[in-house]
Amino acid sequence: MSKSEDKFEHKFADVNNVRLHYVAAGRGKLIIFLHGFPEFWYAWKQQLIEFGRDYLAVAPDMRGYNLSSKPAEVEQYRMKYLIEDIRALIEHLDYKKCFLVAHDWGAGVAWPFAIRYPDYLDKLIIINGPHPVTFTRELRDNPQQQKASRYILVHRTPEAEQILSRDNYGELAKSLLQDGLKQGYFTEEDSKAYLAAWSQPGALTGGLNYYRAARLGPFTGEGDHMLSMDSSLFTVKVPTLVIWGEKDKWLLPGNLNGLEKYVPNLTIKRVPDGSHWVVHEKPELVNSYIRQFIES
């Protein structure tokens, strides 16, 4: 553990009928980082070090993950509850506003949070996480995105836990850790941290329940109504930065097409050689984009 990580504070917030574990560093304006599947607060370690220098940087374990509460009912992972977790966490920290940074499923929560609660945000930063309307469109119209999203069907099955946990969480390690361990941006210490988080009782089910609770277009026969609804209902009214690793094999760059219709104040930073895990591959670049955006 580095000296910077020694300054991390592990805390709990009892909010919205769950207990959220979070890690905090620094003081100043609030910046919150939301992880996706199959990660936990640790995904943002480099950002906590960087932004903990001059902000209060906070990375929660989302409900269902690692040390946070893991409600048993799939219904408890519906978007209305996930959004309220974030609103309640901001209030628990005694702030009225924050910068919100989110990746993957964290972005899946951050987009609707920004639509529902713009007054809680100074600015929004999304990393490889599609806006709900453009994702619904891509799932409906883009065969490549349909193919890339097939894993969602597996994640919804009763067998998903068994499939993903066998061989010491081999599938999760392959998708998240394997390349990083080869290329040197993940260490064995990182690998152990992820395995410990995945092994928390109920954590794998908690993460999978996000997929089970979601209504994603053609996969459920729901969601397509978004495409015919008034676009103002899905408009993000805060300044938004989208950072996108273009080699993402699960979320394709087509999700960026037409995004300005729903995000009038939009900045896009494409990373041509970045994958879905661009936060880990290029932390200095990602941090520089975030800092430049929130301080401009």
211 is catalytic: yes
- Taking residues 226-238, report their average pLDDT: 86
- Taking residues 161-188, report their average pLDDT: 97
104 is catalytic: yes
Catalytic residue among 104, 169, 190, 289: 104
- Taking residues 272-279, report their average pLDDT: 98
Catalytic residue among 248, 276, 280, 289: 276
Catalytic residue among 210, 211, 262, 289: 211
pLDDT of residue 226: 74
Domain ranges, residue 42: 3-294
Three-state secondary structure string covering the chain: CCHHHHCCEEEEEEECCEEEEEEEECCCCEEEEECCCCCCHHHHHHHHHHHCCCCEEEEECCCCCCCCCCCCCHHHHCHHHHHHHHHHHHHHCCCCCEEEEEECHHHHHHHHHHHHCHHHEEEEEEECCCCHHHHHHHHHHCHHHHHHCCHHHHHCCCCHHHHHHHHHHHHHHHHHHHHHHHHCCCCHHHHHHHHHHHCCCCHHHHHHHHHHHCCCHHHCCCCHHHHHCCHHHHCCCCCEEEEEECCCCCCCHHHHCCHHHCCCCEEEEEECCCCCCHHHHCHHHHHHHHHHHHCC
pLDDT of residue 117: 98
Select the more confidently predicted residue: 4 or 150: 150
- Taking residues 127-133, report their average pLDDT: 97
pLDDT of residue 4: 65
Question: CATH code at 208?
Answer: 3.40.50.1820
Instruction: Indicate whether 98 pLDDT > 70.
Output: yes
Select the more confidently predicted residue: 35 or 233: 35
Number of domains in the chain: 1
